[in-house]
Amino acid sequence: MKRVVAHLRLMRPANIITAVADILLGFAASGSAAGLLRAAPGARVQTLGWLVLATVGLYGGGVVFNDVCDAELDRLERPERPIPSGQATRLSAGLLGTGLLLSGIVAAWQVSFISGLLAAGIAALALLYDAWGKHHSWLGPLNMGACRGANLLLGLSAVPAALSHYWFIGLIPLVYIAAITSISRGEVHGGNKKALLGSLALYGLVVAAILAVLGLPQVAALSAVPFLLGFGYFIFPPLLRALASLQAQDVRQAVKAGVMALILLDATLAAGFAGWQYGVLVLLLFPVSRLLARVFAVT
C-alpha cells in the first residue's frame, strides 16, 4: 500500500484536478458546454469524458517523468520525494509515466485526429521540459506554459473548428504558468527578487488578457466578474509575501497558490463563455484540489 501511495504522490493528484479545469474551459469555449447544463446529448458527455481521461494521463505522466529526471538532484534537495526516499524506483516510475502518457494520447484519439495530435504534442512538450527545458531560465517557463496552453486547446478540440476561432485563449495559461514556473525556481534556496517581480508583471498581463477576452461580444463578462475577483485575491497576496521575504517557504506557498488558482482562472473564463452556472461547476473542482493538496504535495 505504501508503494501505491508513493506512486500516486508522483502523479500530483491535486495538480491533475487543475488540468481537468483546463479541459472544462476549452469545452465551454468550443460551445459544447451548453448541452451539459440541459439534457445533454450522450455524444457530448462521451467526448468530455475522453478529454478528461486524456488530460489525467498526460499531466500525470508528465509530472511522473519530472521526478524520474530529477531523481539524483532530489536526493540532495528533496529527499522526502518517493524516488530518493526509496518508496518508488526510477524503473517503476518510468513505467508508470509511460503508461499514463500513452493512455492520454489514446483517449484523446477517441475524440478526433486533431485531439490525438494535440495530445501527442503535449506529451512531447512535457518530456522536453522534464529532460531539458526546465534547466533553462527563460525557455523552461515557456516550455511548461506551452504544455498548459496546449491542454486548454485539447478541451477546445471537442469541436475542432473552434480551434481556429479561439486558439488565442491558449496563450493565457501559457503566460500564467510561465510566471508560476519562474517563481518555483526559488522553492529550495529562496526567491530571486528580479524573477519574482517579473512574475508579478506576468500576473498583471494575465489579468489584462482575461479582461480582453471578457470584452468579446459573445462573452458574458458580468457572469465572470466574481470569479475574476476571487482569482486575483488568491494569487497576488502570496506572491507579494514572497517578494517581501524572499524565503523559500513563502515562495513555495506562492507556487502552491498559483497552481491551485488555475481552477479560478479557468472558472472565470468558463463563466464568460457558458454562464455563471457552468463557472460554478468548474469552481467545484477547487475544494477537491485543495483537499488533495493536504494529502499529496503540489510542488
Share of the chain above pLDDT 70, in %: 95
Q: Looking at residue 44, what is its pLDDT?
A: 84
Q: What are phi and psi of 36, to 5 degrees?
A: -70, -25
Question: Domains of the chain by range and CATH?
Answer: 2-295 (1.10.357.140)
Quote the pLDDT of residue 69: 94
Model confidence, pTM: 0.92
C-alpha distances in angstroms, 227 versus 24, 200, 215, 281? 15, 20, 15, 12
Q: Is the four-CA dihedral 37, 40, 44, 50 of positive or negative sign?
A: positive
Whole-number pLDDT of residue 225: 96
pLDDT at residue 41, as a whole number: 61
Question: What is the pLDDT, as a whole number, of residue 82?
Answer: 93
Residues 159, 215: contact at Cβ < 8 Å?
A: no
Mean pLDDT of the chain: 91
Residue 19 pLDDT more than 70?
yes
Write down the pLDDT at residue 36: 65
CA 93 – CA 99 distance, rounded (Å)? 10
User: Tens digit of pLDDT for each residue in 211-232?
Assistant: 999 999 989 999 999 999 999 9
What is the residue type of 80?
Answer: E
Tell me the per-residue pLDDT of 269-294, one tens digit each, with 9 for 90 and over: 999 999 999 999 999 999 999 899 88
Model pLDDT, residue 40: 53
pLDDT tens-place string over residues 162-192: 999 999 999 999 999 889 988 887 666 667 8
Return all residues near 24 (Cβ < 8 A) that are at least 6 apart.
33, 48, 155, 266, 270, 278, 281, 282, 285
pLDDT value at 47 more than 90: yes
Range from 6-10, 72-76, 122-126 carrying the lowest mean pLDDT = 72-76
For 86-106, what is each residue's pLDDT tens digit? Answer: 999 999 999 999 999 999 999
Residues with Cβ within 8 Å of residue 160, at least 6 apart in sequence = 112, 114, 115
